[in-house]
Amino acid sequence: MADLAVILGDLAAESQVADALVAGLDEAGWARPTPAPGWTVAHQIAHLAWTDGKALIAARRPRRWQAEVENLLRIGEAYADRGAAEGAAEPPEQLLARWRAGRAELAEALAAVPEGAKLPWYGPPMSAASMATARMMETWAHGQDLADALGVVREPSGRLWHIARFGTRTRDFAYKLHSLAPPPGQFRVELAAPDGVTWAFGPEDAEGRLTGSALDFCLVVTQRRHPDDTDLVATGGQVREWLGIAQAFAGPPGAGRAPGQFV
């Protein structure tokens, strides 16, 4: 069983990494474009703050969630972009302060969720531990956008384990987003962790296999790198198909990144 306290601690650490990337930026830095089309550094932080706010509603006021779903259906695919644009229009110091306060409040709310309770979300309902992992996945992914925009290389850490595990557990979700039937069997995923050990997911005797670095796998399942630009090795056509559509985050199918974009 996932340890919520550990995940929340790692989420706080990952948030601080992203926070440190933007805390000292001037206005020009906040306005710098990122790899997400149309999104600046400010949009990235605004999106994190916006999504934390939605997760807070799910954790503390789940009966209000249906109104969030109806709002999504009314606005359509521009839903998240609109939230990011509204936040990006704030003064940077105000936006940063709001994100800091919001993520702290969300951590408190998730820690208080009764064991076994499921929280509503845009995808399948999630436990508090899964919600915290999803928030860390998004924080790390958008932190990668910040790092790419600012020309910073982040040091990978053991916190990637949460994202790698989440990436394997959302395999079938990615297929359903593309109106495809998930493969009947599980895949075996073996990843080289930052400290040199191997993280393994799935049955050892699975026909479909994926090997490579944990960092590259996390970059692919969060659509921050194209599979062709990674060291991942897929055995079996179904595994290669999965890499082409893998998506650990909720929402419509993402466009990902182009081959060679960061080479």
For the stretch 93-135, pLDDT in tens is 999 999 999 999 999 999 999 999 999 998 789 999 999 999 9
Residues 6+ apart with CB under 8 A from 133: 2, 7, 162, 163, 165, 166
The full set of domain ranges for the chain reads 4-150, 159-244
At 1, the pLDDT band (50, 70, 90 cuts) reads low
Instruction: Please give the DSSP secondary-structure letter assigned to residue 200.
Output: E
**4-150 belongs to CATH 1.20.120.450:** yes
Q: Which residue has the tokens 């509204």?
A: 86
Check: CB of residue 209 under 8 Å from CB of residue 242. Answer: no
pLDDT one-digit tens code per residue, 222-234: 999 999 999 999 9
- pLDDT for 226 equals 97
Instruction: Label residue 72 exposed, middle or buried (CB < 10 Å: 0-12, 13-18, 19+).
Output: middle
Contact 214, 178 (CB under 8 A): no
pLDDT in tens, 159-208: 999 999 999 999 999 999 999 999 999 999 999 999 999 999 999 999 99
247-to-32, 153, 218, 223 alpha-carbon distances in Å: 26, 23, 10, 7
Rounded Cα–Cα distance for residues 58 and 187 (Å): 31
Helices (H) and strands (E) in the chain, counts: 11, 4
Task: Please indicate whether the domains covering 4-150 and 159-244 agree at the CATH topology level.
Answer: no
What is 158-169 written as a DSSP string? Answer: TTHHHHHHHHHH
The whole-chain average pLDDT of the chain stands at 95
Q: Is the pLDDT of residue 2 over 60?
A: yes
Assign a CATH topology to domain 159-244.
Answer: Nonspecific Lipid-transfer Protein; Chain A (3.30.1050)
